[in-house]
Structure 1
Amino acid sequence: MFSFGSNNGYYNDVFNEIKRWTPAKKYRSEKGYQEDLYKYLKRNLNSSRGGMFYSETRNMSVRMEAGRNLCDIAVEQHVGIELKKDLNTKAKNDRLIGQVSRYLGDYREGVIIVLVGETNESKVDDLKYALRPLKNGSKYVDIITVINNPKKQNSQPKQSNGFGSSFTGWI
């Protein structure tokens, strides 16, 4: 994973929290996942952290974006989160690529794409390839594929790891 330095931890914190997220259930619509992730991030990005001798309480603004030209969720003006359910067609893939290209100008640190539902691995590969030309050295784009296993008590969240299902890179 990347390091932004001591003054700039929004992207890393958001990325790591999303990787820990497991949806509460299987939702029929993208909106259900969006609301679940929003509540999770609002709670977890604003919790106390630290140890016995040091405690820090963060106060990050997490909001659901409204409008066709904004990501689904934003953390401050730093990180945009675009959630997609059932990325399984070329049309959905092309639309997502266009959206991310536009969103990069709106968020200081970058955009995180979160894929839920039935995701076609070849479409994820196409997405990774299509995002490569956007590289400009100053912002991030990541893809996180969330395996749709609802939370179970006393179990660990199950997420996809590795380059094959989670793309991490500068753009």
Structure 2
Amino acid sequence: MYGYYDKVYREIRNWKPSKRYKSEKGYQEDLFKHLKKNLNNGPFTLGNTSVRMEAGRNLCDIVVEKNIGIELKKDLTTKAKVDRLLGQVNRYLEEYQEGVIIVLVGNTSESKLEDLKYALRPLTTSGYGFPKSLKVVAVRN
């Protein structure tokens, strides 16, 4: 299944966490349920879309059809957190063919968000010059 990156991105933008969670894991489970429901139900859905929560150091938090990686980060407030996220995303772009969506939850520093967006620019082109999809969604709740 290819070409669903924009649909997944829209569903993430429409997501409103059901509450404020103390941990990133709570947000991850909430978003997983939202995507599972909204990508598979209704007249304009994708049908039998595979939405999985991943486990492992080299995988995104949620994966759609093995092609789109979704990485959640809670409380992006320091340079160290931005740097760690950049390293992760760089690896993830090699893994997921359609691209990666970064979802920021909790307390996100505006300055760190801008630092992240600026630093992500060079990562959107692969070694062969093909563009990779990479977007950031800052969720306010």
The residue type paired with residue 19 of structure 1 is R
Structure 1 Cα separation of the partners of residues 85 and 91 of structure 2: 10
> Hey, what does 1:39 align to over in structure 2?
33
Structure 2 Cα separation of the partners of residues 57 and 140 of structure 1: 19
Shift of 1:8: 3.8
The match for 1:61 among 50, 57, 62 is: 50
Q: Percent identity?
A: 64
Shift of 1:48: 2.6
The match for 1:30 among 24, 28, 50 is: 24
Structure 2 Cα separation of the partners of residues 31 and 135 of structure 1: 27
Contact in 2 for aligned 1:88/1:118 (Cα 8 Å): yes
> Hey, what does 2:12 align to over in structure 1?
18
Larger fraction in helix: 2
> Hey, what does 1:144 align to over in structure 2?
137
Q: How much is the aligned-residue C-alpha RMSD, in angstroms? A: 1.3
Tell whether 2:64 aligns with 1:75. yes
Q: Which runs of 5+ in 2 are unaligned?
A: none
Contact in 1 for aligned 2:93/2:100 (Cα 8 Å): yes
The residue type paired with residue 95 of structure 1 is R
Tell whether 2:38 aligns with 1:9. no
The residue type paired with residue 104 of structure 2 is L
Structure 1 Cα separation of the partners of residues 69 and 13 of structure 2: 15
Structure 1 Cα separation of the partners of residues 43 and 82 of structure 2: 37
Tell whether 2:102 aligns with 1:113. yes
User: Could you list the runs of 4 or more consecutive aligned residues of structure 1 that deviate by over 6 angstroms after TM superposition?
Assistant: none
Write out per-residue CA displacement over residues 116-166 of structure 1, whole angstroms, 9 at most, x where no aligned residue.
Answer: 100001001110111111131421100000111xxxxxxxxxxxxxxxxxx
Write out per-residue CA displacement over residues 80-102 of structure 1, whole angstroms, 9 at most, x where no aligned residue.
Answer: 00000000001110000000000
Structure 2 Cα separation of the partners of residues 140 and 91 of structure 1: 24
Tell whether 2:117 aligns with 1:123. no
What TM-score does the superposition give when structure 1 sets the normalisation length?
0.77
Residues matched between the structures, number: 137
What TM-score does the superposition give when structure 2 sets the normalisation length?
0.93
